[in-house]
Amino acid sequence: MNVRKMTLVTGLSAFGVLLVLALVYYLERIAHIDMVFQTFLILKSGSPEIQSGRFGAVATQLWPWIAGLAGLPLRWVMLLYSAGHVIWPALLFGWALWLRQWKWGLVLLLAVTGMATQTFYWLSEMPQGLVFLIALLAWMSGVTTLKSVRWYQWALWVAGAVTAFYFHPLVLYAAVFACLFMIISPENRDGNWYSRRFAVYLAFLAMLAAIALVKYKILILDWYDAAAMKRTAAFGQLWPHWIDIQSNRDLARYLLSDYWFVPVALLVSLAYYFVKKSWLKAVLTALYPVVFVFAVNVPYHESTHQFYMENLWLPLGLFAAMPLVFDVLPGWQGEKKTVLITALVVLAGTIRIAAAHDDWTARLNWERDFLARTAGDRGRLILTEKQIPLDTFKLSWAMTYEFLFLSALESPDSARVILVTGEPQRYDALRCEPRLFLGPFKNYPYDAIPERYFVLKDTTCYTEWQKPENY
């Protein structure tokens, strides 16, 4: 069996396991936080709901959108949304292999499983953009010279660069590393600049620089991106204390427990480059991840929940995977063993991902138990954040939608309306509005909520839930 077929078998096996996990734990993935809110908006509006201009997310929102238009039951909407987050990288993996870029296929597999743990359950645009970037790089690797790029390919290339950047701003760091890595690779640097492959990556870097300039200096930033940019003030505020910060301590702990692939791969790659005296790649492999870590950790020095920080750290998986797949394993072990070793890392990653469901299942079980315990309570309820275990929930803002979805799944003819808020007094004037769904960001009249999925019958006043002594 040749390496391309071995890579295909590895990928099909990995994505098959991930798809099973996505279906088994679909509630852990879709009935929580951002995903449940986005699903609610998609079903309410009947169209994709792009947040912060990250339009690439349509690739995964397509599934619940079509399911909603087709009138499929709520459970199927959520199952398809969960499955879509596995189908997306699987399709891009297939694209890389169709282009005969098996090494990029392995890099994609490692990007999906080498580091991702909590982000398998807390879904965001970052992993979606990272695999899209890898697929775009796989296409670029098949381009021999700039002269061979046709006019319509230039248009597709620019569109791809814009899309990759707009999935998530930190995709830019991954793209720069990948381009620098390919530019300094000897096989890409022979000959005149315009006749060799490294010029392709220079052109891509120029595109990314132009896109970043337009977004950050010309266009008006979205509020979310603007808030993120304000965090960069921490570089000046914390200097010279950039090392002893909570985000660095957290990352060091997670590198030992969950993200071990990153330090192991980087150290092995450094050893290889020193032995081979590939000094440029040694410097890139050693310094670029450190620079990236500071670029993320200093603005987020206070750190936060692992799932959110992991989302920001995900490019580290690409930094670790590329040297290993392109140089180290083929150079030391040969191409077939490269695939076999990668398959073992992928297997370990899927096991780690499966084991990480506990926290998300605990959250789900608490909400199910609450719905069961309060099934006989009359009226719409208001819970304060003091009444919920924040060590389990971490973020409470989406619980209103989580309760809505879980109750609709269990009792399709009578979805529950339960507001969870840290500021109950904010809703005093609206508590007795008979057909108003109170939410953390916006309130919706019942008529605006699709009755096909959420049958809201309760029109009594909202009352604050009184926690029983034996609860």
Closest to 41 in 3D by CA, of 460, 393, 320, 437 = 437
What is the rounded CA–CA span in Å between residue 186 and residue 184?
Answer: 6
Give the Cα separation of 165 and 172 in Å (integer). 6
Torsion over CA: 365, 370, 375, 380 (sign) = negative
Contact call for residues 427 and 382 (beta carbons, < 8 A): yes
Query: With pLDDT > 70 as the criterion, what percentage of the chain qualifies?
Result: 98
- What tokens does 401 get? 């939608």
Collapsed DSSP state (helix, strand, coil) of residue 211: helix
Task: Find the mean pLDDT for residues 408-413.
Answer: 91
Q: Please give the structure tokens belonging to residue 141.
A: 């690797």
Q: Which residues have C-beta within 8 Å of that of residue 143, sequence separation ≥ 6? A: 149, 197, 200
Average pLDDT over residues 138-159: 87
pLDDT at 187 over 90: no
In the prediction, which pLDDT does 191 show?
A: 55
Q: Which tokens sit at 14?
A: 């990995």
CB atoms within 10 A of CB 167: 23
Give percent above pLDDT 90 in the chain: 84
pLDDT computed for residue 245 by the predictor: 97
Q: How far apart are CA 114 and CA 256, in angstroms?
A: 13
What three-state secondary structure class fits 53? coil
β partners of residue 444 = 437
Q: Model confidence over 312-338: pLDDT tens digits?
A: 999 999 999 999 999 999 999 999 999
What per-residue confidence (pLDDT) applies to 196? 64
CB-based contacts of 461: which residues, under 8 Å, 6+ apart? 379, 380, 431, 432
Q: What is the mean pLDDT of the chain?
A: 93
pLDDT(193) > 60:
no
What's the N-to-C CA distance of the chain in angstroms?
A: 60
Name the DSSP class of 292.
H
Q: Residue 112: which of 95, 87, 80 has the closest Cα?
A: 87
In the predicted structure, residue 195 carries a pLDDT above the cut 70: no
Q: Which amino acid is at 373?
A: R
Q: What is the pTM for the complete model shown?
A: 0.95
Quick one: pLDDT at residue 394? Answer: 83
User: Residue 303 carries which side chain, given as an amino acid letter?
Assistant: S
The alpha-helical segments, DSSP class H, found in 101-257 are: 102-113, 125-141, 151-167, 171-183, 198-213, 223-230, 234-238, 246-257
Measured CA to CA, the distance from residue 221 to residue 319 in angstroms comes to 28
CA distances in angstroms from 128 to 48, 170, 297, listed in the order given: 16, 12, 22
Residue 192: is its pLDDT beyond 60? no
**pLDDT band of 194, cuts 50, 70, 90:** very low
**Segment 336-388, tens digit of pLDDT:** 999 999 999 999 999 999 999 999 999 999 999 999 999 877 779 999 999 99
Beta strand pairing call for 436-437 and 444-445: antiparallel
Q: How far apart are CA 180 and CA 411, in angstroms?
A: 55
User: What's the half-sphere exposure (Cβ side, CA atoms, 13 Å) at 138?
Assistant: 23
